[in-house]
Amino acid sequence: MLEIKNLKASIEDKEILHGLSLQVRPGEVHAIMGPNGSGKSTLARVLAGSDDYEVTGGEITLDGEDIIDLEPDERAQRGIFMAFQYPVEIPGVSNTYFLRTALNSVRKARGEEELSGGDFLKLAREKAKLVDLDPDLMKRSLNVGFSGGEKKRNEIFQMAVLDPRIAILDETDSGLDIDALRVVADGVNKLRNEDRMIIVVTHYQRLLNYIIPDHVHVLVGGQIAKSGDKSLAEELEATGYTELEREVRNAATANT
């Protein structure tokens, strides 16, 4: 289980998350929605261990272990995976070589044997089918010259290979046309199982027609303003975030 309690996080001394709490149980899919600047991506990146952010308060535990002081690679080795909103292009590092290195680090940490080149390729080919990834892309430099859709598919492909305990998808849908969105969502759905936790961070309700969440949370001003089931997403689609933002502002004024 992932437990976030009263999490506060800042970037360059500016607090973005003001005491956020969230519980994700095995097998659940949670959607985090919210307007721009509400702290959605901050939450995703803080969970992945980005050192752009400073955690100034609260707790994050994964299956009971406090992870706040863990490095990004140590988190990945414990099964935390974040699909990047903007996957980084790295010329000269081949997709395959990189992913094999990553998988073997993760396997080593789990006490499993490292995979040989041949076994890895077999696994990679099988997982590439999940997101219909062109095998040629695996040989190329990491994300270099990939289209927006290919980059996002590559993220889900990496997720499939690394087989994480918890996956955080940071606006994986933004910028995708409906065909690409379907492929990506299909891939994620195939990776749903009773143990895996998934957090889908998104600005748009559309993705949630394809990845049906168990819980929906709306983030406003660095806090969860409202939680509910998938009907909350539909409600928001109708009303937009403005109404909710006004409510939060009014509540804040009433409190002072």
Partner 1 sequence: MTNMMTQTNTFASLADSVREARAWSEPAWFLERRGRGARHFAELGFPSQKLEDWKYTNIKPVAEAEYQVPGDEASVSAGVLAEFEYGDLDAHRFVFVNGVFQPALSHLDKLPKGVTASTLREALTTDNETFRKYFGAQADIEKHHLTALNAALVQDGFFLAVAPNTVVEKPFHLLFLTTSDAEPAIANLHNVIVLGTSAQATILETHGAAQTHRYLKNIVTEIDAAPNAHLDRYVVQRESVENGWHISSEYVHQGRDSNVRSHSLDFGGDIVRHNIWAKLDGEAAEAVLNGLYMLRGNQHVDNFMWVEHTKENIPSHELFKGILDEHASAAFTGRIYVHKEAQKTDAKQTNQNLLLSDTARANTRPQLEIYADDVKCTHGATIGQLDEQALFYLRSRGVDPIQARNLLIHAFACDITERIRIPQVLDKAEELLTAQLGESK
Chain residues in the site for partner 1 (CB under 8 A): 48-51, 71-73, 75-77, 81-82, 84, 87-88, 90-93, 97-99, 101-103, 105-106, 109, 141, 158, 162
Are 56 and 46 contacting, i.e. CB atoms less than 8 angstroms apart? no
- Measured from the CB atom, the residue of 24 and 103 that comes closer to partner 1 is 103
Are 60 and 69 contacting, i.e. CB atoms less than 8 angstroms apart? no
> Which residues are within 8 A (CB) of 164 and not within 5 positions of it... i.e. 6 or more apart?
76, 79, 80, 81, 196
Question: What are the tokens at 202?
Answer: 């998104």
Question: Least distance from C-beta 217 to partner 1, angstroms?
Answer: 23
- Measured from the CB atom, the residue of 31 and 142 that comes closer to partner 1 is 142
Question: Least distance from C-beta 248 to partner 1, angstroms?
Answer: 31
**193 φ, ψ to 5°?**
-155, 180
- Measured from the CB atom, the residue of 53 and 241 that comes closer to partner 1 is 53
- Measured from the CB atom, the residue of 87 and 222 that comes closer to partner 1 is 87
Phi-psi region of 133 (alpha: psi -120 to 50; beta: other; left: phi over 0): beta
| Beta-strand pair 166-170/90-94 | unpaired
Neighbour count for residue 23 (Cβ, 10 Å): 12
3-state SS class at 108: helix
- Measured from the CB atom, the residue of 61 and 141 that comes closer to partner 1 is 141
Are 151 and 183 contacting, i.e. CB atoms less than 8 angstroms apart? no
Question: Least distance from C-beta 70 to partner 1, angstroms?
Answer: 11
- Measured from the CB atom, the residue of 32 and 44 that comes closer to partner 1 is 44
Question: Least distance from C-beta 252 to partner 1, angstroms?
Answer: 33
Question: Least distance from C-beta 112 to partner 1, angstroms?
Answer: 12
Question: Least distance from C-beta 207 to partner 1, angstroms?
Answer: 21
Secondary structure of the chain: what % helix, strand, coil (to 5)? 40, 30, 30
